[in-house]
Structure formats: structure tokens, C-alpha cells
Structure 1
Amino acid sequence: MSETATQGDKLRKTIAACLDLENPKSFFLFAGAGTGKTRAVVEALDIFRNRYGSQFRQSSQKVAVITYTNAACDEIRRRVDFDPIFAVSTIHSFAWEQIRPHHKNISDWLRRNLCSEIAELRNKQASGRPGTKAALEREVRLESKQKRLEHLDGIRQFTYNPNGENVGKNSLNHTEVIAISAVFLTDKPLMRQILFRKYPILLIDESQDTQKDLIDAFFRLQMHHPDKFSLCLFGDTMQRIYADGKVGLEQAVPAGWEKPVLNVNHRSPKRIITLLNQIRSEADGARQEPRQDAQEGVVRLFLIDDVDDVDKPTIETKAARIMAEVSSDNEWLSQQAVKVLTLEHHMAARRGGFDRFFEPLYRIDNFRTGLLDGLLNGIPFFAQQVLPLVHAMRSNDRFAIARVVKDHSPIIFPERLSKSTTPLKEIRKAAKSVESLLSIWYDGADPILLDILKLIYDQDLFKIPDVFTPIVSDTAQQGGKIELVHADAGNDRNPAIDAWREALSVPFSQFEAYAEYISERSPFGTHQGTKGLQFPRVMVILDDNEARGFMFSYEKLLGAKSPTKTDETNRLAGKDTSIDRTRRLFYVTCSRAQRSLAVIVYTKEADKIASHMSSLGWFKDQELVQM
């Protein structure tokens, strides 16, 4: 019997023993890149269904399955035949379902949180310089939060859309839903009881990227009710890509849990698996094995002299030609057949033509997760309202235009029309507003995002998110003009508002390119956009100068530079270093390759890197190409 079959049989026995309602146990399944983690999730569900399916269909109990994206949810639902005993959802959807009935508790939490935020803003206002733009913006934010506080008692039901914009006065945002869920699960015994009675088994895919406070709350729930609740985590700590995931998840798993392992890589050829093992050898030492029928595979490291006038597109095309020759695969000559992966979003943004929109927002630490998954407050407004309207206009689809307006425009909301004495006039007003908005794209124009936003605001066509209110108000006060200030300028400013102001100063085409990127339709990608995906031919581009990031350093990882004092301090304290973060990014991107892999490094220290890589055994001498 093959190692794969033996490992699979052992895993099924372990999972079957854990998913025993009479004696439930929890487990953390360590599943590295390409080992079939999604298949393992589905097999776990099948094991449970075969044993308890009839019982659960006759009761109100379900198995909860949390995964990272809507696409992953759809895939799992399809593979379990849409069986209703499995509640498959994203973490935001699951969290909202748990807290939604607790209206008064939500209101109390919001009241405390708003009071805290208001007090913080007032302190900043008192210590800041009066009359500055930052002071005016704080005043707008204070007024917005005070109004929200005043309206709390009048809200009969809170609302939340896990996949879109949340702009109404009774809406919660994504961050609030996760924070409230973590607090309620920790502080409210009744909510814990409701959860484990309805969901005695909870499976979490990509658990290393689940928000740390929420994963800690699930740990506490299992610790207090080990005989009633089974927590099943699937993941690989080497593939943690989001900053709000739990650091050291594997070490945090309680001693009594089962810890099965999948270590046969079904995706990559032998040579690439060897490289992956070497990359993570200094992290956790976990190793993978190839399939018995795995191909050998091809790897090359291209070291490019990073001079000021280096022609990167030409260099990368030349590298692709070399890959075609050494791999005997002419598909490397087709741009569409090669997936180009950058290890930093700025690099993808510049190659993809959306850097001027992306970079100001990415500078703000607490914007990054939302910017990368498209849920940052303000982005769904453009992505789900403005962009579909423009697409409908370009395809001359009047029905699609009408549908967007019907779904989102307050002008023709039923409650507004029912109170109007001239509803037909309101409908005509909406039509005129749409025509006015779309006219700024006529004759191939590429309007500025801020101009689009201001026109929508002036026409009252859509309700704009609160995050844009200070910017629009400021624009109105300056007669339609707005001062562009970079997000890192000055101490008495609001960096978040300045970042949005800068991002909104770019043409609409930049946002369109960004939307393509986060929807995985761009020819460029990063670890975030490609985790879980695979490609026959992968080109990984490393360029510290172009990335300009202080969180990552490829030259440190590859031996061109020494670790800093901060790196050493963090290492000794058991904290993430820039080398740790870069290693994870490099591992995830290299592990996407199914046949052949090209790594292109732009550096002024090619000889150092070549020597270091050779000494570590990551690349053989014949695999190093200096250009």
C-alpha cells in the first residue's frame, strides 16, 4: 500500500474517533501546500454524515464549517451535495449569525465602544492644533459617532452584509461583527451554550488566518465544554498571510488534542518539493514528500543586476525563453500561460496599473486586510454600485442599470416613494441622476474617483459610506477643490482620511484594475490572491527596491543583507521578524507551481546571493542564472 493511502486511512480513523458525539475530541490537522486539505475537510464531513446524518436531519443541529472565501464555501457545499446538515459559511457570515439575535447586547457593546472612540477623538482634538484640516476632519468624525450614539436607542434591528458595504445607521461593519462575536463568546455563557448545542462540531479551514481574538474565543469554548463541543482546525502555519491571524497557532493547540498530519504533496514535482522543504527548514522543519508518480520538475534562480535603467519586462521575457528551453515547454513563451507572482502587493499594483489607488490605502496598517479582500469600508461602494453601473452602460444594458439603481438608490426606495406625493417625479429624478453620472464616461473619458463620488453625493443617487463624508464635506467647503496631502504627512492629521483623499484623486480605470486584481482575474498575483490555487508555470519576482516594504526583506532571506538589531531582538523574544514574514511569502508563492518554477531576483549583490543559496542547498550551481 502506498504512503498516500496509508496516511489517508490513518487520517480517516483519527477523524472518525474525534467526530464521535458520545465522546467528542478536537484536532488540528496540519496540511501543507498541495496536500489535499480541502479534500480532507470534505472527507471529514462525509465520515460524520455516514454516521450521524439521519440523526442531524431530524434535529435542528448542524455541523458548522468555516472557510475563508465565498468561492471555497461554494466548492465545499457542492462536494457535500448541498446537504443541509452542514452550515458552510465564511467567518464573517458565521459570526453575524451568532450575534444577530442579541440586539440589546450589541447595542450595549456599541455604546461602550462609541463612547470610548468619542473620548479618544476629544482628547486628540484638545491636544491638536485648532483650525487645521485634521481638526475639521476630527470634528466631522466626532459628529458622525455622536449621531450614531444618539440613534442607538431608536434602532430596532441591526443589519449587516458580510459580502458588501454597510452604510445605514443600523448597520454594523466587518470589524465590529468579528470583535463583538469574540467578546460575546468569551463573556456570555448563554451564547456559548446556544452555539455548541446548535453546532456541536465546528470545522475551521485556513485556521491560521482566522482572526486571533475569535480563534482564542473558540479555544476557550472548547476548553470549558470538551465533552459537548469538538473544534476541528485545518491549516498550515507556514501559510499564514494576514496580520490579524493568530501567531503560533500550532503551539497554542492544547496538549490533549489530536494532531494528524498530511505531508504528501500532490501538486508539485520532486524538485520543487525539495526546495519547499529547504525554505521552511529554518522555520518549523516540517517536510513534505512527493507522490510516487511525481515528475522531476524544473527550477531556476535568475539573479539580475539591479541597475537604474534595467529593462524589467525585457529581462522577464528573456527568463521565460530560457525556462521554455530548459523545461522543454514552449508554453513559457505565452504570456497568458505563465502566472507571474510578486511577493509584495505594491509590485503587482505597479505591474497591474492600480498603484496610485492602492498604495495610499496600503500604508494604513488597519486598512490592509480589508484592502486585500475587497471589504475595506468604501471599496464595496465603488465595486458593487458604481462599477456594475459603468459596466452596464458600456454594454448598453438598460435593464442592468435599472437593477443597480433599484437595489441601491435611496431616491426610489419603497419607503421613500410611499411617502412621496409625486412618486413618478422621484423615479424621473433617479433616471436623470443616473444619466448625469454616466455622462462623465462618455467619449472614452476616464473620470477621477472623487468627481464621481461628489456627483453621486450631490445628486443623492446612492448613500455614500461614512468614511467619505469628511472628504466630500471638505470638498464642498473649498468650492469643489480639494488639497491633496499624502497619508504620511504631518502629525496633526488623520492618516486614514488623507489616504482615502489621495486614493480618490486617481482615474476610475485605476479602481477597475484593482477590482480585477482582488477578483483574481489579473495576470499578476501574490500569495493572498493565489493561496489554494495552482499553476503549471510560475514566475516569482523578488525586488526589494520596487517593493519598498519594511515588513519584508528578500535580500535578508537570500543572504545579501544581515538581520537588523530589531530582527535579532524579535527573534530572541519569539516574535515575527522580517525574515520570518518573507520566508512565509516566498514559500506560498513557490508552492503554487505544478511543473516548473522561475525565481527572478533584482539585486546589487548577485554574488552574495549565489554563494548563500549554494551553501544552503536551495539551488544547485547549474540552476543559477546571472543576467
Structure 2
Amino acid sequence: MGGWVESKADALVRECLESRRSFAMIAGAGAGKTSSLVDALSRIRDREGIALRKHGQRVACITFTKRAVEVIKARLGFDELYLVSTLHGFLWGQISHFHDDIRQALCESRLPALIQKAEDDDNGGGSKKAQKARAKRARLIEQLALLESVKSFDYADTNFSDYGKGQIGHDDVIAIATHLLANNETLRRIVGLRFPYIFVDEAQDTFEGIVTGLNLVGAGIGLPVVGYFGDPWQQIYDRSAGVFSPPDGGEVIKKTENFRCSQSVIRLLNAYRRDVEQYAAGENAACEGSVEFLLVKAEDPTEPRRRYSEEQIERALLRMDAAVDAWGWAGRDDIVRLFLARQMIARRLGFADLNRLFTGDYASSRAQDAFEEGTHFLLKPFITTICPLVAAQAQGDEREIINLLRHNSPAFAIDGLNSEKSLNFMIEVSKEVVGQLQELWGGETIGTILRFCIEKQIIQPSDKLREHLDRAPRLEQFDEVIHSLDKGDWLADALFTMAPEAVSRYAQYLNNNTAYSTQHGVKGEEYAKVLVVYDDIEAAWNHYSFNKTLTPGTAGDPSDRQRSVTQKLAYVSFSRAMEDLRVVLFTADPAGARDELIRSELLRPDQIQIMN
């Protein structure tokens, strides 16, 4: 991306800051949003830094990931004038001392909502899901009664909660802060006094209730100023706001520069998205680049639940390889391949059995989503702790081993089992326990490895993981009708008998150690050459349809939800390409799809090829 220059949109932000008006900047992909954000933050320091420091005030910048926090901090010179934080970190910082208010929010809003959800999940039957729902409801009612005796509340960046002991988790912080910002004027005034300027990066991925609450903080004329930076078309999280607006009286600003993509890619983006028309504004203005689509005749799936067989997946991969060869991209290491789901990727990278388990008969739609996102509770200990430890041990990286254990393992935490032991003792213990883990990795099952890691306090298991490890395996034949609500038992049992190598390959893939990625995983990234593969059957997700979204006249109209989420995901994937974009679209009617793409003026005839 080229060097940053002030644009018309940046000038409008500057005017808002000078007149102390809130705003929302809508910045398309490649627009240099982060540079605009950092410039606005720097302007505040230049104009008001001395006065803000004198009054003990700071400038808040909320962003979505810990990685983004470090990037923005570095670009601001790690100046203590700024509080750069993730959303959860910022919100907890504002509410953490108001224990009575937290208790009130839990009593009035959070726990009643959770109790109601448990009641909704209980159909009165004898299924495991219904029994769990009843037990959860009883536990929540008991914890609700205990809240009056809780003197203070603690938050850990996990999903674990024990309200009766004052322990709240990740989702609780959002729910509590949403309630308090909506109903506690004193808290809003305190936040506004602490932070005369509150900027929110990636605003489309911020929770709707938090956007509403911050707009109440910034309501009225003058300070505090609330500034949003984001793009509704790059929203990829279901529970986030998507569309966002500034407080009443604020200004909506559109930034139309594109410093990333070639001319060809920008023309596609403008044809695809009509609300923001971008233009090449940096060194990319001299790059024509290219965009080509290949329409491949899709096979009719032969497996239950409209899934491809292994042979069909292999044939689809061979067709993709043939297209790559034809484009002259074979054997290159500068190409990123983007898929919606992982069947093709899994087969190529060696975790096909794991992928098949989490998209098969034992997997609910929620389990599939969690697998796609890398957040499933059965796999998360491997992704965050176990696989990185095994990899660090294989590389002889003792420092990384100690860092991983200190951050993730209860036995090695500052207040953990070995907290009073010397550093040398900790190092020796870590060598011993990780050495044992490596030995198990070579010949034991996933279940055995998980039990070892829990026993040695290498991981902090969730309650659900403990339940599955502690119960007896389900020996009866799985029946979809009888066991539909308990299918997670069979999923866990099957996983526990597997060898760990597939999980290791899956973790490497999630950590971007391969040339393959899902389209969810590349938001914010950019690559010279991008290959995108769209196959609605391969995706196996009813809420996405690229054929219906790109060619509704040929494939049929999508639902409103399908259109919304698919449009955004396609936009994110198209806009990763700095130079050349190639798209493989598996479709039942390649000729009809080609004609429709040309009629819609999305592509020229010379940009589309067909493979029957």
C-alpha cells in the first residue's frame, strides 16, 4: 500500500474534530482506514494533548483484535495519552469498579435472559439437551440468589462464569456493559469525562448494543466525540452491528480511495458494490492487474445431506488444479487460495477425517460453525495451547514453551500451582511435562492427551469438555431421530479415539501457516495473487449461496439473509487481491451463469471461461 495522504474524507474528519462533532467513516476495502484512524488520533494529540494530560484525560481507541491493538499502539509511539484496547478490555476497564451496578445488571438483565434461554431449550423431555437445560436453569436460579452476598466481581478473558462466586466471562462483559450504558447515566458521564474522544475501529464488528450505548455517551453537542471507522460490507460476525451510525447530529463520511487493489479488481468491486465507488489512489494506480472467472459444471452430490463424496471432492480439486495450470499459476508460492469451507482444504492439508467428523452426522450446525471458526470447545485447548507446545518442543524453543505455559496453563500461572517455586524449578518442571506430552503425541489418542493435560494442569478445560471426558462412551448405535439432541456425545467420543496429527494440521491451517485459507480468515489481509473457490455444495451451509447471490436469474433468488452474508463474504474475498484475482465458481448452469454475469455488467465476456 502506498504512503498515506490526506483525502477529502480525512479533511472532513479533521473538521469534525475541530468542531467537536461525532462522525462515522465508511471506508471500503483498501481505503487506508487504519491510516485515517491513526492520523485522527495524532491530530488530537497535536491540538489538545497538553490539556488532556493536564486534566488526566485520555483518548480511547477500541479495536477488534489484540493484534490490531499492538499495531495501533506502535504507530502512535506507545504514547500513554491513548488507551488502545480491545472492546472487552475497554468495557471491563469502565465497569470493573462498579460492583453494585454489575450486580444490578446481572440481576435485572443478564441472568434472567440466560434463565429464559435455558427454559426455551427445555422441551420437557428426557434428552440430554433437555436435562442439561433444566440443570442449567436450576444452577442459574441458585446463582441469582447468591448474588446479594457477592462483594466483588472478577473477569477473565474466557467463556467461564460462576456468578455465585463473582466470576464473569467474555459474553457477560458485553451484556453487562450494554445494560449499564443504556440505563446508567452516571456511568455514561464518567466514561465521557475520562475519554473526551472515543474512536471505534472495525465498527461493523462491534456489538449493536455497544454502538447504541456509545452513541448515548456522545449524545449532544461538544465533547465527548465518538468516531467510528469501518465498513458494513466487511462485517463477518453474526452478532455484530453491521450497519453503524454516529450519534445524532454526527456526520457520515465515505472514503473512496483504494490504495491496495489493481485497476481491474477495483472495477469489479465498483460493479459489485454500488454504495461506494472507489478509485486507485496510490502506487496501485499504475497496476492494471487482471480478473478472471472460471465457471465449472458442478456435480450433483451423492452423499446424504447433499454432501460430496470423497471421490467428488477429489475431482473438484483436480478441476481447480487444471484451472490453476491454465492460468500459469501452478507451482507458485505467492498465491493464496480462499475457500468458504474446508472440505477441499482439509483433503489437501491432511485433516480430512477431522473435517468429515465436524461436518458429518454427529455435528450440529453450531458445531460446524465453531469448527470453521476454530472455537469449538473440544478443539480449542489444542489450538491455543497443546499444539503450540508440541511445535515449540519439536523446535527446541524453551522460551516459547515457558511463555505458552505462563499465559495458558493453570499450573504455571502467576497465581497457579507452582507460583511460589523458583524460575529454575519452573523450567525443569516444564521440560518434564512437555517432554511427556511429546511422547504421548507420538502414539496416544486425543482423549488420552486431553486427560493428561488436564491432570497436569496444562490446560483449563471447559465444563462441557470435562463432562464428555468423565462420562462413559455412548455404545448404542446412533439414530438421528432418537439421538438428535445428544449427537454431541458421539462427536466427542469419535474425536477422543482419533490420533492427534490431524488436529495439529488443522491448527497449523488456522494459524495461517499454509497457502490456504477460508474467506473468513483473511479479512484485513492483502495478497498479490488470490484464487477464490466458490462451491455452494462444498460449503454445505444453507445460509450462504454464491450462485444465488451472483447469478439469481440462473440459480434462483437467495433469502434476504443469504444475500446479506454472501455479498459481504464475497466482497471481502475479492478485495484481498492487490494485482490479480481468479475465481472458480462451481455452478449447475455455467452457460446461463456466464450470460447473467455479463448482463449484470459485473464482468466482460473475455473475463469468463467455462469448464464443463
Band of TM-score, shorter chain = 0.7 to 0.9
Which deviates further from its counterpart, 616-625 or 137-146?
137-146
* TM-score after normalising by structure 2: 0.83
Residues 1:453 and 2:450 aligned together: yes
Tell me which of 154, 157, 168 is aligned to 1:159.
154
Structure 1 gap ranges (5+): 325-331, 568-575
Tell me which of 241, 246, 251 is aligned to 1:246.
241
Offset at residue 274 of structure 1 (A): 0.8
Are the aligned partners of 1:555 and 1:561 in contact in 2 as well (CA < 8 Å)?
Answer: no
Are the aligned partners of 2:29 and 2:575 in contact in 1 as well (CA < 8 Å)?
Answer: yes
Tell me which of 459, 468, 473 is aligned to 2:470.
473
- Measured in 2, the distance between the counterparts of 1:258 and 1:214 equals 19
The equivalences for 1:228-627 within 5 A come to: 228-249=223-244, 252-253=245-246, 256-281=249-274, 285-291=275-281, 293-307=285-299, 309=312, 311-324=315-328, 332-344=329-341, 348=345, 351-354=348-351, 357=354, 380-396=380-396, 437-442=437-442, 445=443, 447-457=444-454, 462-474=459-471, 478=472, 481-482=473-474, 493=485, 506-559=498-551, 567=559, 576-627=560-611
Which deviates further from its counterpart, 391-400 or 228-237?
391-400
Secondary structure, aligned partner of 2:286? coil
Paired AA for residue 467 in structure 2: P
Offset at residue 16 of structure 1 (A): 2.5
Offset at residue 520 of structure 1 (A): 3.0
Structure 1's 120 and 92: CA in aligned 2 closer, same or farther, altered over 3 A? closer
Offset at residue 552 of structure 1 (A): 1.0
- Cα deviations by residue, 1:260-294 (Å, 9 ceiling, x for unpaired): 2211211111111111111113xxx3211123733
Offset at residue 242 of structure 1 (A): 1.2
Tell me which of 6, 18, 42 is aligned to 1:46.
42
Structure 1's 245 and 599: CA in aligned 2 closer, same or farther, altered over 3 A? same
Offset at residue 8 of structure 1 (A): 2.7
- Measured in 2, the distance between the counterparts of 1:510 and 1:465 equals 22
Offset at residue 508 of structure 1 (A): 2.8
Offset at residue 550 of structure 1 (A): 0.8
- Measured in 2, the distance between the counterparts of 1:403 and 1:270 equals 45
Paired AA for residue 190 in structure 1: T
Secondary structure, aligned partner of 2:60? strand
Equivalenced residue count is 586
- Measured in 2, the distance between the counterparts of 1:151 and 1:385 equals 34
* Matching residue of 1:63: 59
- Measured in 2, the distance between the counterparts of 1:541 and 1:80 equals 38
Which deviates further from its counterpart, 375-384 or 285-294?
375-384
- Measured in 2, the distance between the counterparts of 1:337 and 1:153 equals 59
Paired AA for residue 198 in structure 1: R
- Measured in 1, the distance between the counterparts of 2:574 and 2:479 equals 33
Structure 1's 466 and 359: CA in aligned 2 closer, same or farther, altered over 3 A? farther
- Measured in 1, the distance between the counterparts of 2:231 and 2:120 equals 43
Are the aligned partners of 2:61 and 2:198 in contact in 1 as well (CA < 8 Å)?
Answer: yes
Are the aligned partners of 2:548 and 2:556 in contact in 1 as well (CA < 8 Å)?
Answer: no
Are the aligned partners of 1:137 and 1:494 in contact in 2 as well (CA < 8 Å)?
Answer: no
Tell me which of 184, 189, 195 is aligned to 1:193.
189
Paired AA for residue 520 in structure 1: N
* Matching residue of 2:12: 14
Offset at residue 197 of structure 1 (A): 0.5
Are the aligned partners of 1:526 and 1:589 in contact in 2 as well (CA < 8 Å)?
Answer: no
Secondary structure, aligned partner of 2:80? coil
Which deviates further from its counterpart, 598-607 or 140-149?
140-149
Are the aligned partners of 1:243 and 1:369 in contact in 2 as well (CA < 8 Å)?
Answer: no
- Measured in 2, the distance between the counterparts of 1:49 and 1:396 equals 45
Offset at residue 86 of structure 1 (A): 1.2
- Measured in 2, the distance between the counterparts of 1:563 and 1:306 equals 12
Paired AA for residue 622 in structure 1: D
- Measured in 2, the distance between the counterparts of 1:409 and 1:272 equals 46
Structure 1's 438 and 263: CA in aligned 2 closer, same or farther, altered over 3 A? same
- Cα deviations by residue, 1:90-119 (Å, 9 ceiling, x for unpaired): 112112212211223323434554465456
Are the aligned partners of 1:351 and 1:524 in contact in 2 as well (CA < 8 Å)?
Answer: no
Identity of aligned residues (%): 24
Which deviates further from its counterpart, 530-539 or 113-122?
113-122
* Matching residue of 1:571: none
Paired AA for residue 235 in structure 1: G
Offset at residue 539 of structure 1 (A): 0.3
Structure 1's 419 and 186: CA in aligned 2 closer, same or farther, altered over 3 A? closer
- Measured in 1, the distance between the counterparts of 2:212 and 2:516 equals 35
Secondary structure, aligned partner of 1:321? helix
Secondary structure, aligned partner of 1:25? coil
Are the aligned partners of 2:28 and 2:256 in contact in 1 as well (CA < 8 Å)?
Answer: yes
Residues 1:81 and 2:82 aligned together: no
Structure 2 gap ranges (5+): 300-310
Paired AA for residue 62 in structure 2: I
* TM-score after normalising by structure 1: 0.81
Offset at residue 58 of structure 1 (A): 2.5
Paired AA for residue 197 in structure 1: L
Secondary structure, aligned partner of 1:8? coil
- Measured in 2, the distance between the counterparts of 1:616 and 1:66 equals 39
Structure 1's 272 and 366: CA in aligned 2 closer, same or farther, altered over 3 A? same
- Measured in 2, the distance between the counterparts of 1:426 and 1:145 equals 38
- Measured in 1, the distance between the counterparts of 2:246 and 2:368 equals 27
Secondary structure, aligned partner of 1:232? strand
Structure 1's 96 and 80: CA in aligned 2 closer, same or farther, altered over 3 A? same
Residues 1:31 and 2:23 aligned together: no
- Measured in 2, the distance between the counterparts of 1:226 and 1:371 equals 46
Are the aligned partners of 2:257 and 2:281 in contact in 1 as well (CA < 8 Å)?
Answer: yes
- The RMSD of aligned alpha carbons is 3.9
* Matching residue of 1:328: none
Paired AA for residue 268 in structure 1: C
- Measured in 2, the distance between the counterparts of 1:107 and 1:378 equals 31
Structure 1's 78 and 403: CA in aligned 2 closer, same or farther, altered over 3 A? closer
* Matching residue of 2:177: 181
Are the aligned partners of 2:317 and 2:344 in contact in 1 as well (CA < 8 Å)?
Answer: no
- Cα deviations by residue, 1:349-371 (Å, 9 ceiling, x for unpaired): 55544566567778767778876
* Matching residue of 1:570: none
Structure 1's 236 and 604: CA in aligned 2 closer, same or farther, altered over 3 A? same
- Measured in 1, the distance between the counterparts of 2:242 and 2:7 equals 31
Paired AA for residue 327 in structure 2: M
Structure 1's 465 and 259: CA in aligned 2 closer, same or farther, altered over 3 A? same
Which deviates further from its counterpart, 357-366 or 589-598?
357-366
- Measured in 2, the distance between the counterparts of 1:484 and 1:279 equals 51
